[in-house]
Structure 1
Amino acid sequence: MEEVLRVLPEGVKNIIKRYSNVERGGIEEIRIRINRPLEIIINGSPQFPQVDGREYFISREDASQITNKLSQYSLYALEEELKKGFVTIQGGHRVGLAGKVITLNGNVKAIRDIASFNVRIAKQKIGIATPLLSYLYSGGWMNTVILGPPNSGKTTLLRDLTRLMAEGYPKRSIASSKVGIVDERSEIAGCVHGIPQHQLGKRVDILDACPKAEGMMMMIRSMSPEILIVDEIGGAKESEAIIEAVNAGIHLVVTVHGSSIEDLYRRPSIQELIRSGMFKRIVELSRSSGPGTIKAVKDHKGNEIRRTKVI
């Protein structure tokens, strides 16, 4: 939490410090909204901590402090981040922003009068993808979709799977692979100034803050990856880029928002990828026993090959 504490306003920082190490380890989000109470989400449950018997309401001074710390006292330095709506800080943590949106010719130019901040705590769980090796690797990595609702652990699982692919796994005679990550939201690698903040392996190349469809084609042309990693696909252009990558002999692991495989069939840009059998494995996640609960592993026809819950 040290990287997070550095950017928090003093009042919020002092509240976080009151929590035990165990409680801090369960923090998922810190939501800061002007003139509303501080909200801290711990293990999926919202909490509204009190100071002197009253909920701690966020002041404009609190918002000013976190803005200044994020921008190092220069909003100009955050110009690109203000277009995207989030800032990635040391440690790979992400601070989402909301407020008055400024547009130019229909495109977002910046966010002004920032009134809400969502500090999302990035967590790397080394080894959580290891139990899936038997289902995702058979003489080679299989094209895989990781499917789950928001905050179900998709990106965390994807991050560890990336590490296994790039490092290899000698216990199962799995060699390391060249892995390309297209990290449009700077969330998989959590890059700061282009340098990943997470342990991803020695054979990883990253296109940070790059649109997914364009990034996949750039990777194919310039970095010759054996595996492409992409978070939260959904658009038609992304589906076209996936088809190009598969035709070029590249393996893919992607995440998609959804609660079940039926959700994939309801999305026109994705359903054909699934129906064609392009993705051989579908890992369904849920939050039923906390983020990272494996609901099922299915083949390309939707048949379950594993249903054991794993945290």
Structure 2
Amino acid sequence: MDEYYQAVQSLPDWLAEPLGRMPPAVAEQIHELRLREGCSLSFTIGGMPCPAAQISGCPHFLRSCVLTPPQMEEIFYSLCGGSVHTHQAELAQGYLTLPGGHRVGVGGQYFVHPQQGVVVQTVRSLNLRVARRKAAALPPELCRALEGHFIGMLLVGEPDSGKTTLLRSAAAFLAGQGRTVTVVDERQEVWPEGGPAGGEALDVIAGLPKGRALQMALRTLSPHVILLDELGGMEEVEQLEQGFYGGVNFVASLHASTLEEAAHRPQVERLTLRRMLRVLVLLEGRQSPGRVKEVRWI
């Protein structure tokens, strides 16, 4: 069964049921489901927005549905599993994670509570991203880079271009070489079910902020290589720097449309200044997720 059908089961029954009747040939192409107050449902297929009314075989209810504020509130509550508080740490960063690693971006009115921190006040839009456990073929040039002492590597691409898929394949490749590999999987998107399949000899730290997880990995797991999805703030760069001094290589993904755009990010500038970054890998884009366009040594 395609992961799309699993993802929509977290929605209220009145919405999950018709979504579950989407034709399989269409379901397997859906990357995102966008729900917006006062708007019709929209899907992302092949990297492009596609209104429900334009999808062949889409149930009539979905074609005509326009979501009201009470419905948005019910949908949000259902996605939280009936407990918004349980997801407070994630929601403070604008998202929540569903069973299976599916992620929901949350748009609306936020405010900063003196004791509770960032709190969602009103939800006006939700973007449900379907997490699929797929592998991407690594091109020979990338395999050759991973076989050596590459120090640091960034997988660069726009949203939905398959960076996580490629990172998963790189982890399996490195483990197959006998390297001690640790994957930092904060949002449980690299392996949605909590760990690698197929017996890969990998260590995974999931569910923690990346900076803290990196510190734990370096102190306790003695990795040869660390992989992390979506390089974030300077705290993560500082931890990677500590690993660099200990001879630990890293592979991380980064949101950017071009290698030149990536090079101007403060995190990348610091990595370059410290001579911690040797390889940049650019993905083709959301039209061809997981496919490599360029491998550049710097």
How does the TM-score come out when normalised to structure 1? 0.80
Contact 2:283 2:294 in 1 (8 A): yes
Q: 1:127 to 1:14 in 2, by over 3 A?
A: same
1:55-94 pair list within 5 angstroms? 55-94=64-103
Which runs of no fewer than 5 residues in structure 1 stay unpaired?
169-173, 301-311
Structure 2 counterpart of 1:128: 137
Structure 2 counterpart of 1:304: none
Return the match for 2:236 from 235, 238, 241.
238
What is the CA–CA distance in structure 2 between the aligned matches of 1:52 and 1:212, rounded to whole Å? 41
1:25-76 CA deviation, whole Å, 9 max, x = no partner? 1101001112211111111121211337964211345334433433333333
Contact 1:3 1:89 in 2 (8 A): no
What is the CA–CA distance in structure 2 between the aligned matches of 1:289 and 1:73, rounded to whole Å? 36
What is the CA–CA distance in structure 2 between the aligned matches of 1:89 and 1:272, rounded to whole Å? 34
Q: 1:210 to 1:7 in 2, by over 3 A?
A: same
Structure 1 counterpart of 2:44: 41
Structure 2 counterpart of 1:252: 250
Contact 1:97 1:118 in 2 (8 A): yes
How many matched pairs?
A: 289
Q: Does 1:188 align with 2:205?
A: no
Structure 2 counterpart of 1:26: 29
Return the match for 2:162 from 153, 160, 164.
153
Structure 1 counterpart of 2:180: 178
1:296-307 pair list within 5 angstroms? 296-300=294-298
Which runs of no fewer than 5 residues in structure 2 stay unpaired?
54-59
Give 1:82 deviation, angstroms.
2.8
Structure 1 counterpart of 2:212: 214
Q: 1:248 to 1:78 in 2, by over 3 A?
A: same
Q: Does 1:265 align with 2:268?
A: no
How does the TM-score come out when normalised to structure 2? 0.84
Between stretches 180-189 and 242-251, larger displacement belongs to 180-189
Q: What is the percentage of aligned positions where both structures have the same residue?
A: 28
Higher RCO, 1 or 2 (CA under 8 Å, sep at least 6)?
2
1:58-100 CA deviation, whole Å, 9 max, x = no partner? 1345334433433333333333333333222222111222222
Give 1:283 deviation, angstroms.
0.7
Structure 1 counterpart of 2:56: none
Contact 1:37 1:58 in 2 (8 A): yes
Contact 2:188 2:207 in 1 (8 A): yes
Contact 1:179 1:227 in 2 (8 A): yes
What is the CA–CA distance in structure 1 between the aligned matches of 2:7 and 2:266, rounded to whole Å? 39
Q: 1:269 to 1:288 in 2, by over 3 A?
A: closer
Structure 2 counterpart of 1:143: 152
1:80-131 CA deviation, whole Å, 9 max, x = no partner? 3333332222221112222221313598432132222111011222243365
Query: Which amino acid is 1:274 matched to?
Result: T
Contact 1:259 1:286 in 2 (8 A): no
Over the residues paired in the alignment, what is the CA RMSD in angstroms? 2.8
Give 1:216 deviation, angstroms.
1.5
Query: Which amino acid is 1:134 matched to?
Result: C
Contact 1:41 1:47 in 2 (8 A): yes
